[in-house]
Amino acid sequence: MKILCFIDSLGSGGAQRQLVNLAIGLNKRGHQIRFLVYHQDDHFLPLLQKENIPCQVIHPCGYVQRVLEVRRILRKGWQDVVLSFLWAPSLYAEVARVPKLEWGLVVGERSANPKMKRFSGVLLKQFHRLADAVVCNSHTNRLMLEVTFPFLIKKLSTVYNMVDLTLFRTAYNRTIIPFRIVVAASYHVNKNIMNVAKALLILKEKNIKSSFVLDWFGALRKDSNQFKQAELFIAENEISTSLRLHLAIRDIVDEFSRADAVALFSFFEGIPNAVCEGMACGKPILMSNVCDASNLVISGKNGFVCDPESPEDIAEKIQNLVELNEFEHEQMGRESRRLAEWLFDENTVLDKYEQILKSVANHKRLSTNCTWPSYVPQSALKTVERWRKA
C-alpha cells in the first residue's frame, strides 16, 4: 500500500509521536510511506530520516492557500490511502476529496474533547462524512462521537496508542531522596498545571515527612499564560523545590527511566502517550480519573487515580504515592509494565491499523473486529454519562 501520513507538523506532541511511530512500523512491514506537513518543526524528523521516509513541507501561507495546496498535492493521487491526525489536517484532507473519492481516507480522533457538542465542533464533525474511517485512540472519544453523530457509527473504531516497548523499558530504580515524579505535558490549561501547583502548596502546608519533587516537562504555547501563571504561583508560595518547570525535551525516555513515578493530571484525554510510556518503563502511575483511565490504572495495583478538579484529592494521591515502601513501589511498577505489554504492543496496534487501511484502500466496509482493546472501561462510561448530562 502507498500511505500518505498527514499532520500539521513533526513537533513534540503526542499525536505527532503516534503518527511517526505508526509510519515507521508500517514502513517496516513493506508499505510505502510519505509524510505531508504544513508547519516547519523537526522534533521527530530524525526518526523519519533514519527510516528513509520522505516528508514534504508546505511553505507558509494563509488558510485558503493551504487548503488549495493540500488539495493539489493529494489529488495528484500517489497514495492509495491518506492517514491524517488532528482536526485541521483531517478537515483539509476531507475537503480535498470533493467531488471524487478516488483514494481512501482514514482520520484520527485523538482527544475526548467535551467541546465537541458546541456549534464549531458539530460543524467540523460533519466533514467526517467524507472520510472512510474514523479511528479514535480512546473508547471515551468513540462513545462521544457515537452519541453525538450517529451517522458515524459504522465508520468508528478504537485503537489504543502503540509504545516502543524496547525503547521504553523497565527500570525499577527507586530514588531514596527525594521521590521524583515526572510529568510530560504541555502548558495548556487542560493539562491542569495550576491545580497541581495548588496541591503541592497543600502538601507544603501539611509538612509531610516524605521528600519529593515533581518535574514537569512541556511545550510552551504561543500565549504561554498558563506557564507564566504557574511560575508566579510557584515563586509567591515558595514551592520551587517541589515543583520544577522545564521545556519539552526530545528524549523523555531518559527522564521516565530515572523517575520514581509518572503522572498526568489532565481534565480530559485520549490515551496519553506519557502514561503509556511511563507504564512501559515500569513506573507507578498517577493520573486523572477521566476517560479511559480505568483501563490504564488499577488503583492500588499499578498506581492511583485522582479528581483533576480537586487540589485536595491530587495532594492526597501524591502523598499516597511518595509514601509507598520499596516493595509496594516495585510491585506497582511491575504491574504497569505487564499492562503496557498487553495494551500497547506494537504488532497488535499495527495489525489493527493495517486492517483498517487495507479495507479503506480497497473500498471495503470495515470489519467489526478493528477495535483494540475490546473492553470499554467504567471510567469511559462514567465520563460520557457526565458529559451527556452537562
In the chain, which stretches have pLDDT less than 70?
A: 172-176
The rounded distance, in Å, linking the Cα atoms of 337 and 341 is 6
pLDDT of residue 389: 86
| Three cell numbers, residue 357 | 487501511
What's the pTM?
Answer: 0.89
pLDDT of residue 101: 80
* Each residue's pLDDT tens digit, 164-186: 999 999 876 665 679 999 999 99
pLDDT of residue 174: 64
pLDDT of residue 269: 86
* Each residue's pLDDT tens digit, 52-95: 999 999 999 999 999 999 999 999 989 999 999 999 999 999 99
Q: Which domains does the chain have, with CATH numbers?
A: 2-162+345-389 (3.40.50.2000), 179-343 (3.40.50.2000)
Whole-Å CA distances, 31 to 75, 348, 351, 358: 20, 17, 13, 11
Percent of the chain with pLDDT over 90: 82
The rounded distance, in Å, linking the Cα atoms of 286 and 54 is 38
pLDDT of residue 112: 79
